[in-house]
Amino acid sequence: MARLFSFLALASVALQAVAQSQYLLGLGIADITGPVVEVNFMGYANLPQTGSGLHQRQRARAWIIGETGATANRVVFVNADIAMGDTGIRRAILAALSAKYGNLYNAQNVAISSTHQHSGVGGYLENLLPQLTALGFVKQTYDAIVTGVVLAIDRAHASLQPGTLTLGNATVTGGNINRSPTAYLANPAEERALYVNEGGDQDKIMSLLSFGSRGFLSWFPVHGTSIYENNTLVSTDNKGMAAYLYEGKFGLSSSVEPNAMPGSQTFVAGFAQANVGDTSPNTLGAFCESPGQPYDGQPCQANSSTCGGTVTDCHGRGPGFTLDSFGFHSNEMIAQIQVDAAKSLMSKSLAPVSGSVRSVHINLNMANHTFNLPNGTAAKTCPPAMGFSFAGGTTDGPGAFDFVQGDNSTSQNPLWEIVKSFITPIPSSEQKACHAPKPILLNTGYATFPYSWSPSTVDIQMFKVGNLVMIIVPGELTTMAGRRLRNAVRARLISEKVIDDSAYVVVTGPANTYGHYITTREEYSHQRYEGASTIFGPSTLDAYIEKYSSLVPFLADSPSGSPQTDPAPPQLQSSAISLLTGVVLDAAPIGKSFGQVLVDVAKTAYKAGDTVVAQFVGANPRNNLHLEGTFLSVDHLSGSSWTAVRSDSHPSTLYKWNRTSTILGTSTVNVSWTIESGTPAGTYRLRYFGDSKPLIGSISAFTGTSGNFTVA
């Protein structure tokens, strides 16, 4: 009897353990690439960085995790190859999901996070400031992102099936450095001492949630600025490249269907962003590119990131600097470092994840938010404002004016002194005092003409999956800011008994809303770029720590009540200004036709390492984005038929568009392929897929085909 009893007890423990670690899992991927030409890129805010073609398509990847019993308890995490999450984008995605799935996927359990890449199409953000260089709102970009994210979630939903999750972490070496180390040094010495063996001024840990043979989701902080601001081909930077490399090489279907085009594998590799604020992939450091000056090639001034007194010549260098003109080599190297870390984690047996799935979300108005600091002192955030060092930019993308970082003075540029009062209202003494010691350059919180320049209301969200908690952050936390937030939330999870001391906390973002940067109070006093871009003032981080911590009880298995929330921010899209003109017409030069070869491949025989290029009579790619498709192919002759073996998402291929006459509407397209070593010998050709728009009538598709060539 006793034996039977203990056998039953053991069996029930075993059953419970199995039942607890089963989740309903879905993974999906979709194309979100907006118009690849004539639109400014999002990230560097550099007007000349306007698209001229495509290096790699941008994608959204989605992971759904649900409890197997209660279908309502699900979370959807989206990692998109965009510069930052956005309120308007998120609102449109939620509306589309609600139309399809009712309340299953909603504001509480869907997170739209970004890889924070800086070489993607811009113009999609709701607030005015980040739209400025894109000439306002670009509906085509916005639609591509919304439709693609919804498609990725649809695919994840369609793939839902039971499975298990495991969790682990690994140290990543050589993948990031701190680009504002002098600000980091402002943090208390005793606090910094806690992290000397954990990367010091950078977090070096990659955390990874494994979905077994179906994919994974990882977090590691490094800016998406491997590709420089002088590149004008749409790409994904190091996180998107890492996902491409992993999915193509190690993903399940890479062995099942070796010729699957990028983005069509079923394995989904997630390289998500973490406390990215002060990180840089430019691991060699920042140097002066000042030809003819004595300091040319020297490291920049450390505290101000200047060369000869200005920021414009100071550029960070990635690990592939000597090989690079646009950062593509460095990009692959930083991607590969992340791929290797993920691969090593995926080949180990990691800790099983078990426990409930929960989510919590509120809107928080960060202008004038009052709360108490841990020491009991009352504190307050401020309506948004950008400091002077914001215009100084960073060593990853220096500013265009002669502002410098780490400077408190208010009169560095007399032109800006005049212009800024026209474009944003002069700050009140109350606003100045609230942001001190930040000198205000753009008083964006009071700039509502023609519509809000910066968001005031942000999304505060957390997901719990067993013992893993994701803090989904509406901005870019610096390294130390991220640690403080993680530590505070973890301590609260344990003290509230929501999770035992196995609680594992990650921060991820910029997600949902773009609330710019979040530094520690001490870093803020230093006013480098990150401090100047901490838009809600010196108490920004403390306000977030207090708010996220207070929401921890709502992640409990049986939470009581629901949290207080501020009203959702107003919808601005309907009043958005768009100055970008549409495509007027495309024409082929007299005597020529669309897709006709203008300059054919130069030779009939090539070898690995060569670049083969053909130029065609082109048309504007804004006529058809070829979402889920491609603007080009490299075809291989097998028997008597051609098979596409490369698309425009392979980094070995480039699609370049050039407007040759605005008046006549003529343009050219170059399709090129740098032949990878290991490419099978045989006969190949290049193809171009275009769409032309006549002055009157509808857009029509055409194809261009190069001459045949062989690869030995």
For ligand NAG, the binding residues (CB under 6 A) are 169, 205, 228, 230, 289, 303-304, 315, 325-326, 351, 367-368, 373, 375, 377, 383, 406-408, 437, 456, 521, 525, 599, 613, 615, 637, 656, 658, 660, 670, 707-708
Residue with tokens 């939470």: 559
Q: How far is the CB of 60 from ligand NAG (least distance, A)?
A: 28
In whole angstroms, what is the distance from residue 634 CA to residue 648 CA?
9
Q: Which is nearer to ligand NAG, 600 or 628 (CB)?
A: 600
Q: How far is the CB of 160 from ligand NAG (least distance, A)?
A: 28
Q: Which is nearer to ligand NAG, 443 or 623 (CB)?
A: 443
Which of 459, 479, 461, 490 has the alpha carbon at shortest distance from 519? Answer: 479
In whole angstroms, what is the distance from residue 145 CA to residue 32 CA?
5
Q: How far is the CB of 628 from ligand NAG (least distance, A)?
A: 26
Q: Which is nearer to ligand NAG, 349 or 558 (CB)?
A: 349
223 labelled ligand-binding: yes
In whole angstroms, what is the distance from residue 651 CA to residue 55 CA?
6
Give the three-class secondary structure for 710: strand
Distance between start and end Cα atoms, the chain: 77
Per-residue DSSP letter, 319 = T
User: Edge to edge, what strands does the sheet with 110-114 contain?
Assistant: 110-114, 74-80, 59-67, 23-31, 161-163
Express the helix, strand and coil content of the chain in percent, nearest 5 each: 25, 30, 45
Q: How far is the CB of 260 from ligand NAG (least distance, A)?
A: 24
332 labelled ligand-binding: no
Partnered with residue 371 across adjacent β-strands are 379
Q: Which is nearer to ligand NAG, 563 or 589 (CB)?
A: 589
In whole angstroms, what is the distance from residue 47 CA to residue 50 CA?
7
Name the phi and psi angles at 257, rounded to 5. -130, 85
Q: How far is the CB of 530 from ligand NAG (least distance, A)?
A: 14
Q: Which is nearer to ligand NAG, 354 or 615 (CB)?
A: 615
- Exposure on the CB side of residue 512, measured as CA atoms within 13 A: 26
Residue with tokens 């490249």: 241
Q: How far is the CB of 165 from ligand NAG (least distance, A)?
A: 15
In whole angstroms, what is the distance from residue 704 CA to residue 590 CA?
17
Q: Which is nearer to ligand NAG, 230 or 674 (CB)?
A: 230
Task: Write the CA distances from 119 to 44, 51, 77, 124, integer angstroms.
Answer: 8, 9, 22, 14
Q: How far is the CB of 189 from ligand NAG (least distance, A)?
A: 16
CA 582 to chain CA mean position, Å: 27
Both tokens assigned to 239: 């996180």
Q: How far is the CB of 92 from ligand NAG (least distance, A)?
A: 24
In whole angstroms, what is the distance from residue 635 CA to residue 189 CA?
59
Q: Which is nearer to ligand NAG, 450 or 707 (CB)?
A: 707
E strands in 146-246? 161-163, 166-171, 177-178, 205-210, 215-219, 233-234
Catalytic annotation present for 325: no
In whole angstroms, what is the distance from residue 290 CA to residue 134 CA?
29
Q: What single string gives the DSSP state of each residue in 536-587?
A: T-TTHHHHHHHHHHHHGGGGSSS--S----PPPPPP-GGG--B---------
Q: Are 520 and 481 in contact (CB under 8 A)?
A: yes
118 labelled ligand-binding: no
Q: How far is the CB of 191 from ligand NAG (least distance, A)?
A: 12
Q: Which is nearer to ligand NAG, 456 or 679 (CB)?
A: 456
In whole angstroms, what is the distance from residue 315 CA to residue 399 CA?
11
Beta strand 504-508 pairing with 468-472: parallel
Cis peptide before 538 (omega within 30 of 0): no
Q: How far is the CB of 37 from ligand NAG (least distance, A)?
A: 12
Which of 458, 550, 551, 465 has the alpha carbon at shortest distance from 505? Answer: 465
Both tokens assigned to 31: 């194309």
In whole angstroms, what is the distance from residue 46 CA to residue 532 CA?
18
In whole angstroms, what is the distance from residue 517 CA to residue 511 CA?
12
Cis peptide before 437 (omega within 30 of 0): yes
Q: Which of 280, 359, 452, 456 is catalytic?
A: 280
315 labelled ligand-binding: no
Both tokens assigned to 516: 């710019």
Q: Which is nearer to ligand NAG, 266 or 306 (CB)?
A: 306
Beta strand 110-114 pairing with 74-80: parallel
Q: Which is nearer to ligand NAG, 246 or 287 (CB)?
A: 287
Which residues does the annotation place in the binding site for Zn(2+)? 116, 223, 476, 517
Catalytic residues: 280
- Which residue positions form the known binding site? 116, 223, 476, 517
